[in-house]
Amino acid sequence: MLKMSWKGVLAHKVRLGLTGLAIVLGVAFISGSFVFTDRMSSAFDDLFAGSTDGIDLVIQEGGSLGFTAGKVPEEILDQVLAVEGVSQAIPTVQGFAQMIDKDGEPIGGSGPPTFGFSIDAADFETTMTSFVEGRLPESGEAMIDVFTARANGFEVGDSVDVIFTTGVETLEIVGTIGFGDADNMLGATVVALDLSDAQRLMGYQGAYASISVVADPGADLDQLRSALQQAVADPDVEVVLAADELAEQLEQVDTVLGFFNTFLVAIGAIALFVAAFLISNTFRIIVSQRTRELALLRAVGATGRQVTVIVVLEAFIVGVIASAIGIGVGVLLAVGIQGGLEAFGISFPSGGLVVKFRTVAFGMGFGVFFTMISAIIPAVRASRVPPVAALRETAVGFSKPLRKRVIAGVAITSVGLVMLFAGLFGSFSKALLVMGIGAGLTFIGVAVIAPFFSRGFGRIFGAPLPRMFGVTGRLAQENAVRKPRRMAATASALMIGVALVSILAVLAASAKTTIKGAVEDEVIAEYQIEARGFADPTSTGVSPALKASLATVPGVEFVSSYRVGPYLEEGGSTTLYLAAVDDVLDKVIRWDVLSGSYADLAPGKVMVDADWAADKGIGVGDTVTIEPREGHPVDFAVAATFSSDLFQGVPIVMSLADFEQYYSLGLEAMVMLKLADGVDAEAIRPALETLVDEYPNVELSNAAEYVAKTAGQVDTFLNILTALLGLAIFIALMGIMNTLALSIFERKREIGLLRAVGMTRRQVRRMIRWEAILIAVFGAVIGLVVGSLLGIAIVYGIGSGLVLTMPLGTLAGYAVFAAIGGFLASLWPSYSGARTDLLEAISFE
């Protein structure tokens, strides 16, 4: 039977080819993301492993979150050196440092970190840092990474301006460094400084970020660890094995990469889901075109079940071949992405791509699963072909009454919606998976109902065609709807992609309106200063030095700011964010303080979001326990509850004094300026800009500019996601192309007849083209409707002040794009349709 299936595949190579291509694309995306994230992960492994190669123990302030380091008091160094078994103790400091290029533009800052650290001759032996040229820096000097030096034309002997938390510093470049054999650390820019400069510039007066210990050869590390822990009097300082610390850091990186990977795999799965529609449709059409062949099999004694197995095996063969190719393409994709990143200045340590068994298993599994699942219905239908069909000329139509379909469709959609929203708003494990399955069922349900609307749609939306193109348009309109199920299945694939991007568009538009409203309602300040572009406020921001100098500008009444830092709930593992504010932020931002008062905020106390507090059943006077550093819970008394649209998603606000104690990042997330009464905001702006210009990593904006900037960022997110979903849309358009090509094949004689009675090739192409456009627009319209409804439901579901906004222009744009997509998808079928061999088509055998 495998042989029969194999022959079936060979006989329909071309038709299955396009189907296979859809699988290839989906699998390539999935396996490519696995290979790439594995590569990233191994690069980080190398980086971190290399960065502590020769080091045995690390002394640091307990716990860490992300990349923020704690502080170890200087005097501990001597205590450490006094312990027997310690060969070397190398103090290190690291922190924010961003270079400015020769044109005054900041280098890096949107993506990989920009940081600085102290460097010691021992580092070249004990860490991955490698010496390239020049010499070690003394005060006022720096070594920088080779990549940055080369990319920005810096030579040894040049000077470079560097932004630190304490201000902008001009340093002389005395050398360059690399990392293993890579020119930079996965795109991070690095400034290596003399230890005391590093302490001064990165806010470590009298302290280090950590002390690396090299043990005497043969020393027992566990014993040494205990000895050191005893020698170090400070309870906040801990001594850990370098290997443990490394493992923990890698775990954090892998968690982040894991999210990234899950996200990409989800996109790939969406693409395969869409591909499943295409596959299902192709098999259905092939089965109906092979009715006579299958009936013949039945007539010579094959059971219905055997016929089913033959078709399913065909799907299996297609799935295996396409998935295998997809995995190969995925590897190439990963190579391409790495190459692209390297071109963009993200240098990878050497070491090739690894294709893990898991990658192959997932790629194969997804690809074969989706192919076979989608062939099952057509396969079962194939088994119902009666033997007598072998003797009949026409294909047997399988049709269930539409009414039954609608009932089934509504039922599936309802179940899907329930799961979708349960997953979206429920907080249980696997919520995401439930949501995904719910979304899938919703789409399937809609696809099941869709044929019910095919004819009506064709009548209404196709109405202009006969008027525009006479009988050619009339035929396009008729052809589009002559097989309502086929049209609906084809259009539904496109519907999914369009629905997803429509949901995103609705969410993005609503978010933008909400932000605009929040800024207009809550911001009192005339100006704000914030990092440029997409900046992570927990790793970059505005230097407090700039804040201080802005305060001295005549006409500025006062300056306020807030910072943002990561924290965990007690015992939790999900990184959350809190804000830290100074005592006048309530005069530049309108807070709705519901109980307690802003003025009560003091060290040891926090303000909490009122809804969050209500959820937890706490109020003013109660205690909340959080972990600003992992594993180090701290109690805070609730001083006030607030409600704020600007601080949406930030449930805890602490005092700046507390923040400085728990976090080493000494940068403001945002600085806000309040001008004195009667000062013309435009007139004072040049004076402010002059100061801000010294820090090219940040920019000054007024309320309108700030809104525009944030809206721009939302749009960027939207565009990235939309581009990724473009894969699903592309596959759907391939589906239109495939269905169309198959339909044209079925209508060969009809087209031949039309050509015989005088239809020109150009008219044939036009007829096919408009059929494709109608199908595409049908898919787009259902997608827009479904997407908008889901978008609206999600916006209301999220609540929390989100203002629903329908991006009508964008949505209309999607319909136009879909029409253009349909046109492109029709190019090949219409070309080949127009070349239909006239005689073959009309001759009677």
Footprint of another protein (CB under 8 A): 470-472, 474-475, 478-479, 482, 749-750, 753-761, 763, 838-839, 842-844
Least Å distance between CB 392 and another protein? 14
Least Å distance between CB 284 and another protein? 20
Contact by Cβ (8 Å): 544, 203: no
Least Å distance between CB 436 and another protein? 40
Least Å distance between CB 289 and another protein? 16
Least Å distance between CB 826 and another protein? 18
What is 50-87 written as a DSSP string?
A: HHTTT--EEEEES--BTTB---EETTHHHHHHTSTTEE
Please give the Cα distance from 571 to 577 (Å, whole number): 15
Three-class HEC string of 550-589: HHCCCCEEEEEEEEEEEEEECCCCCCEEEEEECCCHHHCE
Residue closer to another protein by CB (options 220, 837) is 837
Beta bridge mates, 702: 527
Token output for 781: 């319209």
Least Å distance between CB 511 and another protein? 47
Token output for 655: 């005092």
Please give the Cα distance from 663 to 661 (Å, whole number): 6
Rounded to the nearest 10 degrees, what angle do helices 703-746 and 808-834 cross at?
30
Residue closer to another protein by CB (options 88, 472) is 472
- CA-nearest of 790, 792, 786 to 805 is 792
The kind and range of the H/E element at 593 are strand 592-596
Residue closer to another protein by CB (options 678, 758) is 758
Please give the Cα distance from 320 to 323 (Å, whole number): 5
Residue closer to another protein by CB (options 343, 757) is 757
Residue closer to another protein by CB (options 478, 715) is 478
**CA end-to-end span of the chain:** 31
Least Å distance between CB 756 and another protein? 5
Residue closer to another protein by CB (options 397, 686) is 397
Token output for 155: 């030579």
Residue closer to another protein by CB (options 474, 532) is 474
- φ, ψ for residue 599, nearest 5 deg: -65, -20
Q: 3-state class of 428 per DSSP? A: coil
Least Å distance between CB 754 and another protein? 7
Q: Where in 180-220 does DSSP place strands (E)?
A: 189-193, 207-208, 210-215
Please give the Cα distance from 365 to 272 (Å, whole number): 11
Please give the Cα distance from 173 to 158 (Å, whole number): 6
Least Å distance between CB 477 and another protein? 9
Least Å distance between CB 360 and another protein? 48
Residue closer to another protein by CB (options 280, 472) is 472
Q: Cβ neighbours of residue 705 under 8 Å, at least 6 residues apart?
A: none
User: Using the 8-state DSSP alphabet, how is residue 176 labeled?
Assistant: E
Residue closer to another protein by CB (options 616, 749) is 749
- φ, ψ for residue 89, nearest 5 deg: -130, 115
Neighbours of 798 (CB within 10 A): 14
Geometric angle at alpha carbon 318, from 483 and 774, rounded to 5°? 25
Contact by Cβ (8 Å): 560, 537: no
User: Using the 8-state DSSP alphabet, how is residue 107 labeled?
Assistant: P
Beta bridge mates, 744: none
Contact by Cβ (8 Å): 260, 348: no
Residue closer to another protein by CB (options 471, 820) is 471
Least Å distance between CB 772 and another protein? 16
User: Using the 8-state DSSP alphabet, how is residue 482 labeled?
Assistant: S
Residue closer to another protein by CB (options 547, 755) is 755
Contact by Cβ (8 Å): 483, 506: no
Please give the Cα distance from 778 to 644 (Å, whole number): 42
Residue closer to another protein by CB (options 472, 788) is 472
Least Å distance between CB 38 and another protein? 53
Least Å distance between CB 452 and another protein? 20
Least Å distance between CB 378 and another protein? 23
What residue type is 522 in one-letter code? E
Please give the Cα distance from 257 to 339 (Å, whole number): 19
Least Å distance between CB 745 and another protein? 15
Residue closer to another protein by CB (options 247, 391) is 391
Residue closer to another protein by CB (options 396, 754) is 754
Residue closer to another protein by CB (options 441, 759) is 759
Please give the Cα distance from 119 to 196 (Å, whole number): 10
